[in-house]
Amino acid sequence: MAEVDGGLLLEAAQALVRAAEWELADRLLASAGNLDRAERARLAVTRAQIAVEVRQWRGTGDPAPAIDAATAALPDLPAGRGAAFDLDLLRLFRDYWTELVPEGAAPHLGPAGRDPAGLDELRDRAACLVAAAPDRRRSARAAFYAGLIADNLRGEPDLARDLFTRALAACRPGADDDFAAEALRHLGGSAQAAGDLETARQQWERSAELAQHAGWLPLVLAQQALLAELAAARGDTAGAGMLAREVGRWAASLGLARLRSQAGAIIRGR
């Protein structure tokens, strides 16, 4: 078999990840042959990303082995740069998600019932990554994760909105549409919480558009679900149902149980 350029291999794997073809992406990376040290490190981090995303979107699997494997692949690379920084981001998101969605439970929002020291530790890790980000794309990601922690765990919506705005500002048009889509998703949530449903609609529609540009299918579906909920809240039950049914069909085919359940609740009018 002919050798494949490591950069092209990783690019193909990321396209599969955005299309929710996580198993195929992981098999592609596992089949890689002769790669240099930096490429092997990036491959290991990408496989860790896949494991984290499967846990996030499908609620299955344990990303710990893939994160441990990536950690073992990185010891000779400079700390705080490139693949090493990305792995720190993945560790932070894994720990945030574990706190937000306990094993076998629904998401738990806000600081009530949480260990304040643990919340402070997550906040401080995020702040360190925001300060140390080596480029704009990673700066956007770090600020976004800091916003998630502030909003969903610590109950600090004003700070979260500022961090999501900072994340969006760091995104380069065309290059970081995926991260811009996530920032807009949560800025729309901030607008909704403040009662500004028109701004929420505009930001969620733009988020869906950018996610489509990036080819990020699960996020497109998640945005369509939010738009369906918003349509239902505004009394457009027909439009809400149409969107929700489409989301439900796609979510079922991709194994996205949480999104499928959300779509079903919209259809049932709950």
Quick: pLDDT tens for 105-138: 789 999 999 999 999 999 999 999 999 999 999 9
pLDDT at 38: 84
Q: Are residues 1 and 79 in the same domain?
A: yes
Give the separation between CA 78 and CA 64, rounded to whole angstroms. 22
pLDDT, tens digit, for every residue of 151-202?
999 999 999 999 999 999 999 999 999 999 999 999 999 999 999 999 999 9
pLDDT band (50, 70, 90) for residue 25: very high
Asked if residue 77 is part of any domain, the answer here is yes
In 3-state terms, what secondary structure has residue 194?
Answer: coil
Range of the domain at 250: 216-270
How many domains are contained in the chain?
3
pLDDT band (50, 70, 90) for residue 1: very low
Please return the burial class of 141, using the count of CB atoms within 10 Å of its CB with bins 0-12, 13-18 and 19+. buried
Asked if residue 236 is part of any domain, the answer here is yes
Helices and strands in the chain: count of H runs, count of E runs: 13, 0
pTM: 0.94
Asked if residue 137 is part of any domain, the answer here is yes
Q: Which two tokens stand for residue 118?
A: 């643990």
